[in-house]
Amino acid sequence: MSSGDRKLEDLSRDRVGHEDERLTTDQGVRVEHTDDSLTVGERGPTLIEDFHFREKLTRFDHERIPERVVHARGAGAYGTFTCTDPIPEVTKADFLAEAGRETPVFVRFSTVAGSRGSADTVRDVRGFATKFYTREGNYDLVGNNFPVFFIQDGIKFPDFVHAVKPEPRNEIPQASSAHDTLWDFISLQPETIHMVMWLMSDRALPRSYRTMQGFGVHTFRFVNAEGKGTFVKFHWRPKLGTHSLVWDETQKIAGADPDFNRRDLWDAIESGNGPEYELGVQLVPEEREHNFDFDLLDATKIIPEEEVPLRIVGRMVLDRNPDNFFAETEQVAFHTANVVPGIDFTNDPLLQARNFSYLDTQLIRLGGPNFAQLPVNRPLAEVHHHQRDGYGQHRIDVSPVSYHPNSIAGGCPALASPSEGAYRHYTERVDGTKIRKRSPSFEDHYSQATLFWNSMSDWEQQHIADAFQFELGKVEREYIRERVVEHLAHVDHGLASQVAGGLGLETPADTSPNHGRSSPALSQANQPGSVATRKVAVLAADGVDAGPLEHVLQSLRSQGAVCEVLAPHAGTLEGGVTVDRGLLTMASVLYDAVLVPGGRESVEELRGNGAAMRYVAEAFKHAKPLGAIGDGVALVREAPIDNAHLSENGLVDDAGVVTLASTDNGELDAFAAAFAQAIAGHRHFDRRLAAVPA
């Protein structure tokens, strides 16, 4: 054999196939179970001696250098959290102990599946991670914009993320779940179905980070000064309400402005309109732990707000953008195990895994153990310990010792007592056999998925069905599509029938009657609305009727709306109206509403402008508010929309379409008020849609 042949043979040893082989560790040890961590009993804590779990998570944590494996694309901001309703009876956490107490925060929002170069508006879960720089040390509330997760045990996290990431053979598709490997995984793991319902809903397409809820996902534990525990779930609620984009719109925004959500957050803060959120908690006394028809330790379940109402304990306002994206937003390191006295963990097996995995990830991503010294990660509380050296060390420790106990340094840094603010873990008795087995209380995978479906409005349900048809329509293997539809039949037979029909599949038998329960708090149909910070595209050209337009703009801007005049050319229009942006540099999908003012010459020029007509047609198609004044009504009437929404005379507001033929100031006031109300409603899915050009 020649040396060349030997080299080829050596190279071929690196090309490994796995057909007909058995799963092993990196050391070649065969594995009999990879779906559950090794725990003490079925509901006990995860054991660190589980070498397969640690190897699997460690390998996964170190897959990307230096990009995050998940949550790679993010946006961050600084702000302040203010306690509004102290709860010392349930937690001794200092930042929740006194009304008016302010705590600095840094928040990072993110998409999950895509790379740093992907678009903001993909269908995906969004991260909502908050670092509280408390007086007792840093506390990280590492959450998402969904209250549940895909899996119940963290040992499955590498499997899920590998499945949702681009397919390994061709690195396609980017930042998308619409492909075979993800849905193959979903179809074989019914515990994912509840989360998938959220993923197929409008919740996966947030209008902005400012109008997005956040959740701690897991059930944590508050601990008070007496050592008594209380189960807790965390909720962030945006002041502006929770609002979403529509699917067609998200794809066009990805082309028009892939930084849409990041830009929106940055611009809002720069203009002094930074987002505001309420922090709510659901509190469950320990004696009620088993009073639910689900397991509190199951991260694929919610506690319906109708069963345990939210208690609002604080308010967070984000008001400062980072000075350097890499140094702050990219280098910020969150960790579910960064807790302060008064906050502790439960035996949720997904949370237990995250408590290991996050620190392990930061060690490789940020180049060593000293990442907590980076300014964005540095606590306000003083840091004293015996850890030394390592990559990135810039502290100059002058102590003569680096160990405990010692006498040379007088025993310092000395141990603290709980009365001095020392952290003490919650005392909990744990008994059980070391075992890889999930608790039977985790076995219900469909009832809360049905609860979510039942809670949706008609238009939300239609969007979910459409999303399933789109995603599964991209799946090449029919047997995967069939398995998913079988799962949907356990959620709701009508949903399964609609999806099956759209895919040309046989409808499964109706073997799982819908239980009929719902939770109105889950729907976006009744969210609070506001004109504040809504972006209105004003389509104008030379000859625009400036007087009535300025009258309406003044009214909208006084309520906080952001109105931008778009015209065929930059500068100033005849009549004195200042142009904010060129019509061709923007798109209707980048705005929340469209307004067409009057002026015969202006309307004539816009009538011959294809971009202007597209603005009107797309805004109508995407259920956005649409307004027109005077001659502008004629342009709207000529657009390819359902003219049944347009009035023959006077003022009318029908499904978010507001028109006014007259330009009398008294009527203009009524028009401005009606248009503002339509904008505050966000979307108007009750309108009849006509065909709109692609």
Question: What's the average model confidence in pLDDT over 514-523?
Answer: 97
For residue 309, pLDDT beyond 50: yes
Assigned architecture for domain 39-373: Beta Barrel (2.40)
For residue 8, pLDDT beyond 60: no
Q: What is the reported pLDDT for 11?
A: 46
For residue 319, pLDDT beyond 90: yes
Give the 3-state secondary structure of residue 212: coil
Q: Which two tokens mark 576? A: 């004195």
Q: Are 401 and 410 in contact (CB under 8 A)?
A: no
pLDDT band at 650 (very low <50, low <70, confident <90, very high): very low
Q: Which two tokens mark 656? A: 């978010």
Average pLDDT, the chain: 92
pLDDT digits (tens, 9 = 90+) for 76-85: 999 999 999 9
pLDDT digits (tens, 9 = 90+) for 527-564: 888 999 999 999 999 999 999 999 999 999 999 999 99
For residue 286, pLDDT beyond 90: yes
Q: Which two tokens mark 183? A: 């849905």
Question: What's the average model confidence in pLDDT over 333-342?
Answer: 95
> Of 411-420, 450-459, 634-643, 661-670, where does the model show the most confidence?
450-459
Characterize 36-66 residue by residue with b for buried, 16 or more Cβ atoms within 10 angstroms of its Cβ, and e for exposed. Answer: bbbbbebbbbbeeebebbbebbbebbeebee
> CA 46, 198, 441, 488 torsion: positive or negative?
negative
Contacts (Cβ under 8 Å, ≥6 apart) of 462? none
> Of 170-174, 363-367, 684-688, where does the model show the most confidence?
170-174
Question: What's the average model confidence in pLDDT over 351-357?
Answer: 95
Q: What is the reported pLDDT for 438?
A: 95
> CA 37, 40, 46, 52 torsion: positive or negative?
negative
Q: Are 114 and 360 in contact (CB under 8 A)?
A: no
Contacts (Cβ under 8 Å, ≥6 apart) of 661? 630, 633, 647, 649, 650
The residues that are catalytic are 71, 144
Question: What's the average model confidence in pLDDT over 414-437?
Answer: 90
**End-to-end Cα distance, the chain:** 62
Q: What is the reported pLDDT for 691?
A: 39
Q: What is the reported pLDDT for 395?
A: 86
Q: What is the reported pLDDT for 58?
A: 83
Q: Are 279 and 316 in contact (CB under 8 A)?
A: yes
DSSP state of 583: G
For residue 95, pLDDT beyond 80: yes
DSSP state of 674: H
pLDDT digits (tens, 9 = 90+) for 366-395: 998 889 999 999 999 989 988 888 888 888
pLDDT band at 694 (very low <50, low <70, confident <90, very high): very low
pLDDT digits (tens, 9 = 90+) for 25-54: 777 778 888 899 999 999 999 998 898 888
* Percent residues over pLDDT 70 in the chain: 94
For residue 690, pLDDT beyond 50: no
Q: What is the reported pLDDT for 237?
A: 98
Q: What is the reported pLDDT for 17?
A: 67
Using CA atoms, how far apart are residues 420 and 410, in angstroms rounded to an integer? Answer: 19
For residue 688, pLDDT beyond 70: no
Burial class (CB in 10 A: 0-12, 13-18, 19+), 400: exposed
* Percent residues over pLDDT 90 in the chain: 78
Contacts (Cβ under 8 Å, ≥6 apart) of 557? 563
Using CA atoms, how far apart are residues 82 and 67, in angstroms rounded to an integer? Answer: 33
Q: Which residue has tokens 């560790």?
A: 25
Cα–Cα separations (whole angstroms), residue 192 to 198, 299, 343, 448: 10, 10, 28, 11
Least confident of 255-264, 434-443, 482-491, 647-656: 647-656
Q: What is the reported pLDDT for 235?
A: 98
Superfamily of domain 446-522 in the CATH hierarchy: Catalase, four-helical domain (1.20.1370.20)
pTM: 0.92
For residue 649, pLDDT beyond 90: no
Q: Which two tokens mark 92? A: 């001794």
Q: Which of 628, 624, 607 is nearest to 672 (CA)?
A: 628
Using CA atoms, how far apart are residues 147 and 121, in angstroms rounded to an integer? Answer: 20
pLDDT digits (tens, 9 = 90+) for 603-623: 999 998 889 999 999 999 999
Q: What is the reported pLDDT for 65?
A: 59
Which residues make beta-bridge pairs with 562?
535
pLDDT digits (tens, 9 = 90+) for 213-263: 999 999 999 999 999 999 999 999 999 999 999 999 999 999 999 999 999
Give the 3-state secondary structure of residue 599: coil
Which residues make beta-bridge pairs with 140?
131
DSSP state of 204: G
DSSP state of 509: P
Radius of gyration of the chain (CA): 28
Structural domain spans, the chain = 39-373, 446-522, 535-680
Strands 562-567 and 581-582: parallel
Q: Are 216 and 79 in contact (CB under 8 A)?
A: no
Strands 657-660 and 626-629: parallel
Q: What is the reported pLDDT for 2?
A: 44
Residue 94 CA to its chain's centroid (Å): 28
Strands 593-596 and 535-539: parallel
Give the 3-state secondary structure of residue 156: helix
Q: What is the reported pLDDT for 4?
A: 45
> Of 365-379, 418-432, 474-488, where does the model show the most confidence?
474-488
Using CA atoms, how far apart are residues 421 and 414, in angstroms rounded to an integer? Answer: 13
The CATH class that applies to domain 535-680 reads: alpha beta
pLDDT band at 480 (very low <50, low <70, confident <90, very high): very high
Give the 3-state secondary structure of residue 463: helix
Give the 3-state secondary structure of residue 536: strand
Which residues make beta-bridge pairs with 46?
39
Q: Which two tokens mark 440? A: 């039977």
Domain 535-680 in the same topology as domain 39-373: no
Q: Are 416 and 384 in contact (CB under 8 A)?
A: no
Q: What is the reported pLDDT for 13?
A: 54
Using CA atoms, how far apart are residues 441 and 164, in angstroms rounded to an integer? Answer: 27
